[in-house]
Amino acid sequence: MLLSELRRGDKALIDSFTDYEASLKLLEMGCIPGEEIEVVRVAPLGDPIAILVSGYLLSMRRDEAAVVVVIKVIR
Amino acid sequence: MVDWEKGNVQPFKKKFCDDSLAENNLKKNLRIALVGNPNSGKSTVFNALTGLNQKIANFPGVTVDKKTGTGTLIDNDGKKNEAEFIDLPGIYSLYPKSPDEEIPFRILCDPNNELHPDIVILIADGTNLKRNLFLCSQVIDLKIPVVLVINMMDMMRYKGIAVDYEAISQKLGVPVVPMNARKGEGLAELKNALTQALSVSEKEFLDIRTFAPEVVDGIISTVNVSSNYDAFLVANNLHIITNFEIQQHKKDKIKELCVQHHFDAQKMQARESLERYKKISELMSESVSQVSALRKSYTHAIDNVLTHRVFGYLIFLVILFLIFQSIFAFAAYPMNLIDSGFAWLSSQVKDALPAGLLNDLIVNGILAGLNGIVVFIPQIALLFFFIAILEDTGYMARASFIMDKLMRRFGLNGKSVIPLMSGVACAVPAIMSTRTIQNWKERIITILVTPLMSCSARLPVYTLLISLIIPNKYVYGINEQGLVLMFMYLIGFAAAIGSAWVLKKIIRMKERSYFMMELPLYRVPRWSTIGLHIIEKVKVFLFDAGKVIISISIILWVMSSFAPGDRFKMIEEKYHQPQFATMSQQDIAKEIKSEKLQSSYAGIMGRVIEPVIKPLGFDWKIGIALVTSFAAREVFVGTMSTIYSVGDQGATKLTVREKMQNEINQDTGAPRYTFAVGLSLMLFYAFAMQCMSTVAVVFRETKHIRWPLIQFLYMFALAYVSSLVAYQLLKP
C-alpha cells in the first residue's frame, strides 16, 4: 500500500517509490527502503501528515506521501 | 589542482566578488563556512562565534541573505587569528532543489568560488544524527577540511542518546566537537579545533569513483575539481552550473562523456543516497546508542494540544490576534513619537536654514522620505519579535501543519496566514515575514497578494471618503459607516485570496517544490537570537528598502516643487496684486501653495491622466492626489487639503471634508463626490499598489525587478477595472 493510505498510529516499512524524481528528495530526508516509519500525526483537515522516520518528525503533504510504497507492519 | 575553471577567473570574480571579502583575501584570513541542515542550530553557532560582528549582504539573484561575520581564534601558542565566518543557507544535501540551495552548492563545490572556504564547520543535530551525517559525509568527500559539531547535547541527554564521539571521529576522519550551542557549551573546544592545522581525511567515506569511473576520470582531466566526489557532483548538477563556472565547450564535453557512458544522473543520485545511508547506519550502530527507551516526549504532548482539531485552531487564532493587536495598537505609540520627532526636526531645520529650494528639499524631500522609512521600524521590530519566537520555539512548523490544507487551495502555504494577517497593519513587515515559507512559488504568491489586505494607511483615506458618501445613520442598531468600512476590509481580503487562486494557475516554476519539512522539537526561545534577528530585519529594511524609498520620495518632491517655465513666478506675482491685500499672509501662503501644486509637474500629470481616469469618475484634482499618494496612500488626505485650499479667500474655515462635499462637478452641476465616485475611489485605493515602501521591500525580498513590476501592473489593472465597473454601474 501507499504511505498516504496509512492511518494515524500505523507502522510500516518503506518498500519502494513510484516517482523517481520525488524519491530523490525522500531519500535525502532519510526515507530509505527498509526503514521503519510510523504515522504519528495527521493534520486536523486530513492533510498533511507527520511521520516518525530516522528518529525525527517529518511532515509531508499527502500527494508527496503517495509516491512511497510501504508494507504495513501488523502488530 | 583545485579550480573548476582556471582560465576563466576574471568574469567569475566580477560576478560573485564581494569587496569586503576581497580585502580579507589580502590579509589571508581563514575563511570558515557553516554548513548544516535547517534546524540544526547553525545560526546559534554562528552567533556564538561572531557575536555582533555580523554583516548582511546579498547573494545575487536569490532570496537568502549572505551572512558573514568575523571572530577571533586563539591557538595553543596564544597566537590570535582573525577568521571570517560565513553562514550558508540550511541544506539537506549537495543536490540543490531551489535557487537558495544552489548557493551552498556553488560555494562548496566550486573551489574557484570567491567564497570557497578553507574549513567547513558541519553542524549536526545530535538528536537526529542519521540525516545530519548524510550531508556531513558528502562534504567530507569534497575533501574540504571539516570540523563536525554535534549539537544539542542537552536534548540528546533528554532523549537518552549516547554517542561515542571518538569512534565517529575515527570513522569519518574529522575532528568531532560535542556542543550545546544555546548555552555556549563546547564553544572553546570548537575554536580550538579550528586553530589546529586541518588536513583533509585521506580516505573517502564513499568510494564514488566505482559508480562511474570513466565519467569521474574524464571530468577530473577536463576541469579542476577538489575530489572524485566533486567530479561526480559536477556530472550530476551540470544543468545548474553557469558558463562563468565552467565554459560552455567544457560543459558540452562533459555532457558528451555522460551520454557516452550512459550516466543517468537520477539513478546515480539515488544509488549514492542509498549507499551513503547504508554506511551511515553501520557507523551509527557502532557508535551511537539509545540507552533509555524513547519516552513519550513532551513535544508529543504539546503537539496533542497545538495540532488539536479545536484547540489547535483556537490557540493559533489567539496568537494571530495578539500579533495583530501589537503591530496595530502598540506600534502606534512609537510611530507617533517618530512622526512628531520628525515634525519637530523639520520645523527646526526649516527655521535654521535660509528659505529656498535647499530648505524645501531637505524638509519636504529628504526628511519626509526618512520619516517614511523610520516610521516602519516599530512595526517591523514587533512583528519579527513574534515571528522569531514562533520560529525559535518550533511552533511555526505546526501552524503551517494545521493551516496548510486550507491555504493550499489558494496556492498559499500554511505559513502564509501570518503575513496575510500582518498585512492588515502594514504590508512592509508582512512581506518581510514571508521568508519563513520555504516553497518558492507559495512565497511569491503570498508576497504578490499581501498588499491587497487593507493596511492601516488606507484607513485615513477610507474614513474621509466614507464620511463624504455614507450618512452617519444607524440601521438596526448598526452604524452604516462602520459597515462600509468593514466591507472595505473584507473586499481586500477577498481580493487577496482570489488573486492568489488565479496566480496559482498562472505562475509556473521551473523547479519542483516540496512541502516536506521537519517538525522540530519544542524549545525555549533564546532571547539573544531573537534580538539579533530583529536587528537584522530592521537593518535590511533601513539600508536596502530605505534607499529606494528615499529616492522615490525625492522624485515626488521634484515633481510637486517644479513647474515648466515661469509658472510659479506668475503665481507669486498674482498674489502681490492689490485685490489680495486684504488677505492674511497665512492665507496667501496657503493659496500660493495650492496653486503651485496644481501647476507643478505633478499637477500637470494629474491633468494628463484625466482622460484615463475620467471613466472612473475622477477629475484632475483626484489625479494629482493619485500621483502624489504613490509615495504612501495616506498622502491622499494631505494632498486633497492642499488642493482645496485654493479659492478659500480665508473667509471660510472649512475642513477638507466639507470642501470636498461642496465641490461641484462642472459637467453635471451635481456634487462632485457622489456615492459612485466615492466608492470608485475607495476601490481604487483598496486595490492599487500606491506604496513605494512596499514596492521597495518586494524588490528586496524577491531580488528581481520582475515581481514588483508584475505586482504593480496586476494590482493597477484590478483597481482600474473594479473602479470602472463600480462607477459605470452606479453613476446617476
Distance CA B80, CA B66 (A): 26
Q: B500-518 as b/e, with b when 16 or more CB fall inside 10 Å? A: beebbeeeeeeeeebbbbb
Nearest CA in chain A to B515: A60
Tell whether the torsion through CA atoms of B662, B667, B669 and B670 is positive or negative: negative
The set of residues, in sequence order, having a beta carbon less than 8 Å from that of B484 and lying 6+ positions away, is B466, B470
Of B131, B406, B519, the CB nearest to A54: B131
Tell whether the torsion through CA atoms of B541, B542, B548 and B552 is positive or negative: positive
Tell whether the torsion through CA atoms of B434, B438, B440 and B441 is positive or negative: negative
Give 10-residue mean pLDDT values along chain B (732 residues): 44 35 54 93 91 79 81 80 91 88 93 93 94 96 95 88 93 94 91 83 89 94 93 94 90 94 94 95 90 67 93 92 80 90 90 85 85 86 89 90 91 88 86 84 94 88 88 82 88 95 86 81 88 87 81 84 84 81 77 84 90 92 87 81 63 69 78 90 94 90 91 96 95 80
The answer to whether B405 faces chain A, any CB pair under 8 Å, is yes
Distance CA B404, CA B498 (A): 17
Chain-centroid distance, C-alpha B385: 15
Shortest CA distance to B690 belongs to which of B623, B645, B601, B643? B623
Chain A contact set for B405 (CB, 8 A): 43, 45-48
Distance CA B712, CA B450 (A): 12
| CA geometry: angle B141, B147, B148, nearest 5 deg | 85
Shortest CA distance to B516 belongs to which of A72, A33, A56? A56
Grid cell locating B214: 570513466
Distance CA B259, CA B32 (A): 37
Chain B contact set for A67 (CB, 8 A): none
Amino acid, single-letter form, for residue B473: K
- Cβ–Cβ gap A23/B92 under 8 Å: no
Distance CA B521, CA B503 (A): 34
Task: State the helix-helix crossing angle for B228-236 and B265-287, rounded to 10 degrees.
Answer: 140
Instruction: Tell the residue number behind the cell numbers 499637477, with chain if given.
Output: B603
- Cβ–Cβ gap A60/B130 under 8 Å: no
DSSP string, A30-69: T--TT-EEEEEEE-TTS-SEEEEETTEEEEE-HHHHTTEE
Q: For residues B533 and B384, is the Cβ–Cβ distance under 8 A?
A: yes
Grid cell locating B241: 552550473
The answer to whether B678 faces chain A, any CB pair under 8 Å, is no
Tell whether the torsion through CA atoms of B191, B195, B200 and B203 is positive or negative: negative
Secondary structure class of B36 (helix, strand, coil): strand
- Cβ–Cβ gap A58/B128 under 8 Å: no
Grid cell locating A67: 509516491
Grid cell locating B658: 466639507
Distance CA B517, CA A61 (A): 10
The answer to whether B518 faces chain A, any CB pair under 8 Å, is yes
pLDDT at residue number B486: 87
H/E run at residue B517: strand B517-518
Distance CA A48, CA A62 (A): 6
pLDDT at residue number B543: 83
Grid cell locating B549: 524609498
Nearest CA in chain A to B308: A44
Chain B contact set for A47 (CB, 8 A): 404-405
Burial of B489 by CB count in 10 Å (0-12 exposed, 13-18 middle, 19+ buried)?
middle
Chain B contact set for A58 (CB, 8 A): 516-519
Amino acid, single-letter form, for residue B716: F
Shortest CA distance to A56 belongs to which of B40, B519, B393? B519
Q: For residues B204 and B181, is the Cβ–Cβ distance under 8 A?
A: no
Furthest C-alpha separation in chain B = 101
Q: Which residues pair with B54 in a beta bridge?
A: B69
The set of residues, in sequence order, having a beta carbon less than 8 Å from that of B36 and lying 6+ positions away, is B42, B90, B91, B122, B123, B124, B125, B132, B135
pLDDT at residue number B21: 43
Q: What number of C-beta contacts closer than 8 Å exist between A and B?
A: 98
Nearest CA in chain B to A29: B131
Helices then strands, each counted (H, E), chain B: 36, 12
DSSP string, B264-281: -HHHHHHHHHHHHHHHHH
Q: How far is A31 from chain B (nearest CA, A)?
A: 10
Per residue in A18-74, pLDDT (tens digit) is 998 889 999 999 999 999 999 999 999 998 999 999 889 999 999 999 999 999 998
Grid cell locating B502: 488565479
Chain B contact set for A25 (CB, 8 A): 97, 514, 516
pLDDT at residue number B49: 92
The set of residues, in sequence order, having a beta carbon less than 8 Å from that of B714 and lying 6+ positions away, is B448, B499
Helix residue ranges per DSSP H, B196-310: 213-222, 228-236, 248-260, 265-287, 298-306
DSSP string, B86-137: EEPPP-SSSS--SHHHHHHHHHHH-TTSTT--SEEEEEEEGGGHHHHHHHHH
Of A21, A40, A60, the CB nearest to B512: A21
Size of chain B in residues: 732
- Cβ–Cβ gap A32/B277 under 8 Å: yes
Of B95, B303, B406, the CB nearest to A41: B303
Helix residue ranges per DSSP H, B509-619: 527-540, 546-561, 567-574, 585-599, 601-608, 610-613
β-strand pairing of B161-163 with B288-290: antiparallel
- Cβ–Cβ gap A61/B515 under 8 Å: yes
Shortest CA distance to B272 belongs to which of B322, B371, B214, B204? B204
Distance CA B624, CA B643 (A): 9
Grid cell locating B327: 503591530
Q: Which of B127, B281, B519, B522 to mutate to test the interface with A (most CBs of A within 10 A)?
A: B519
The set of residues, in sequence order, having a beta carbon less than 8 Å from that of B251 and lying 6+ positions away, is B238, B241, B243
- Cβ–Cβ gap B277/A21 under 8 Å: no
Distance CA B519, CA A59 (A): 6
Shortest CA distance to B628 belongs to which of B655, B654, B604, B611? B604
Please state the φ and ψ torsions of residue B309, each to the nearest 5 degrees.
-65, -25
Q: B341-375 as b/e, with b when 16 or more CB fall inside 10 Å? A: ebeeebeeeeeeeeeeeeeeeebbbebbbbbbbbb
